Structure 1
Amino acid sequence: MATKALRFLKVSQVQRLHARFVVPNAVPVQPSMLEFVVHSPMNMKYYAKEEDVFRLAANLAEKIMKNHAVQDGNKRTALLAADMFLKINGYFLQKVPFAEDINNKGLADAHVAVVKNQWTAEQLRNYYRSVAARLVLETAEVMQYRSSAIEY
């Protein structure tokens, strides 16, 4: 059975998202942990044959939040990374990162629930699936991330 090709973020792309939206000029406090975290969805695809982009996005977000690879802003970085992962694979969670709207409030609450162990990654996956929309028009930023992502 042939597997579906997906695109996966690189460590440098997650760092760029973190630096752009969370902490300018930040570097990970645990670079090897960030590398492990970013490769986790790819490992899920390879070893578990997982192709559900929402499960892979939730895995990425959970690992970023719980492994604290960056000093500050792990939940925000997790949301940015999950959203961009979904965007480069045809979906989106946020129209505008961290906009003051009901959708982003729900996403923030979902991430807090995961960090507090009130939700599992599977529950986060279900939530992502319920709020995500198909990406109809790619922005220049999404096209840039997509073109330099790892296709696997």
Structure 2
Amino acid sequence: MTEPIWLSVDLVVAIHGEQLREFGGPAGLRDPGMLESALARPRNKWSFGEEDLAVLAAAYAFGVARNHPFVDGNKRAALLSLITFLGLNGIDFEAPNSEAVVMIQGLASGEIDEEGLARWIRDNWPVEAKTTVATKAKPKAAKRGSKRAMKTAKKLSPSAPKKRR
């Protein structure tokens, strides 16, 4: 099985910065070690034989949402990490915004566990997609997923006014 394309610290920090520019909130990485820990979670699962992309994506979201590495925007960063990881690995993930908000808020509060999030991801999986690592990434899927994720992230944002450009 081909190893997935993983998220880097720099990529997640950039994703976080993008959503802060779009929706507002204080910037800052509260704890770099907690971000590194969150991003190591799916790699650890992979090293022990986990190949299900839904499980690996859920591990990213769980780690970011629960480790709370950023000053603000952790739930938004968790959702964007999940969708970006899937997109980088050829999955054009799309779920109803209202469900995504409920799932990520539930994950952050402890009402939804990592396994429950992985089930939800699979329930919203594109019909044509494989559940294990894709052999060829589709960058367009990552870009489309990221745009949708940004719209959903807005719903996870506190009522901060949108910045004018």
Higher strand proportion (structure 1 or 2): 1
Structure 1 distance, partners of 2:96, 2:91, is: 15
Aligned residue number for residue 72 of structure 2? 72
Question: What are the residue-to-residue correspondences of 1:1-152 with 2, within 5 Å?
Answer: 3-23=1-21, 26-46=27-47, 48-94=48-94, 103-133=96-126, 134=129, 138-139=139-140, 142=143
Distance change (3 Å), C-alpha of 1:36 and 1:21: same
Structure 1 length-normalised TM:
0.77
Distance change (3 Å), C-alpha of 1:137 and 1:49: closer
- Please tell me the residue identity of whatever aligns with 2:100: L
- Please tell me the residue identity of whatever aligns with 2:52: D
Q: Which runs of 5+ in 1 are unaligned?
A: 95-101, 143-152
Aligned residue number for residue 157 of structure 2? none
Structure 1 distance, partners of 2:88, 2:107, is: 24
Structure 2 distance, partners of 1:62, 1:137, is: 24
- Please tell me the residue identity of whatever aligns with 2:77: T
Task: Show structure 1 runs of 4+ deviating over 4 A.
Answer: 134-137
Fraction of identical pairs, as percent: 28
Q: Which runs of 5+ in 2 are unaligned?
A: 144-165
Structure 2 length-normalised TM:
0.71
Structure 2 distance, partners of 1:45, 1:127, is: 20
Which has the larger displacement, 21-30 or 83-92? 21-30
The answer to whether the 8 A contact 2:86-2:142 is kept is no
The answer to whether the 8 A contact 2:86-2:92 is kept is yes
Distance change (3 Å), C-alpha of 1:117 and 1:110: same
Equivalenced residue count is 132
